[in-house]
């Protein structure tokens, strides 16, 4: 697969984001949404479960601290839709204070936020399959989405390079897979 000419040249140069929800069934902790932050270069994804969309700015701030600490790079651009959670004064101030450029897609054009939209769809589909496979009730969707994200970050993807996982591109290290367990099955800790 050819690399897109618009693909970021380094990790955290561009971060895509979108909110998914509300889910019909809340998690046991009362979460109804999740937000994803996806690095354009590596396709590494970080997901946070939310009670309300208004939590997005705080979760983005948390993501920025985590990502910049782990990579030694700085977030330069946040690409998202025009939702109120991204256009809020709190989000605008945080981005302005950090020198992060916000780029918004025009209203009613989810296809222009395709990286984040596709990631959310993939995570929901994986979570649904995982829950169905082990017969777990719907309120476990949050744990399934977090697990799907963890696994997806550690699997090679043709979106970046068939030989490397998002984790490896982002961190420069091969992921450790020896302790993986089947989702939903009882395990000794």
DSSP string for residues in the chain: -PPPTTS-SSTTSEEEEEEE---SS--TT---EEEEEEETTT--EEEEEESSGGGHHHHHHHHHHHHHHHHS----EEEE-S-HHHHSHHHHHHHHHHTPEEEEPPTT-GGGGHHHHHHHHHHHHHHHHHHHHHT--GGGHHHHHHHHHHHHHTS-BTTTBTT--HHHHHHSSPPP-TT---TTS----
Domains of the chain: 14-171 (3.30.420.10)
pLDDT score at 185: 78
Q: Lowest mean pLDDT: which of 35-39, 100-104, 184-188?
A: 184-188
Q: What percent of the chain has pLDDT over 90?
A: 82
pLDDT score at 157: 86
Q: What is the pLDDT of residues 134-169, one digit of tens each?
A: 999 999 999 999 999 999 999 998 888 768 999 999
Asked whether the predicted pLDDT for residue 3 surpasses 60, the reply is no
Q: How far apart are CA 183 and CA 118, in angstroms?
A: 23
């Amino acid at each position: 697969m050819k690399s897109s000419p618009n693909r970021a040249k380094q990790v955290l140069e561009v971060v895509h984001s979108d909110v998914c929800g509300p889910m019909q069934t809340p998690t046991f902790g009362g979460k109804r949404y999740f937000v994803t932050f996806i690095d354009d270069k590596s396709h590494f994804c970080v997901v946070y479960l939310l009670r309300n969309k208004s939590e997005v700015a705080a979760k983005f701030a948390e993501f920025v601290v985590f990502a910049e600490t782990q990579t030694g790079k700085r977030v330069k651009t946040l690409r998202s839709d025009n939702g109120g959670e991204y256009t809020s004064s709190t989000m605008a101030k945080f981005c302005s204070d950090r020198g992060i450029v916000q780029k918004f897609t025009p209203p009613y054009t989810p296809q222009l936020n395709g990286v984040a939209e596709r990631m959310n769809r993939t995570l929901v589909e994986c979570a649904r399959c995982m829950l169905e496979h082990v017969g777990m009730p719907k309120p476990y969707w949050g744990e399934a989405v977090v697990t799907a994200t963890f696994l997806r970050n550690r699997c090679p993807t043709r979106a970046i390079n068939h030989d490397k996982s998002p984790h490896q591109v982002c961190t420069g290290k091969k992921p450790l897979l020896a302790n993986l367990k089947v989702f939903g099955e009882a395990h000794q800790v």
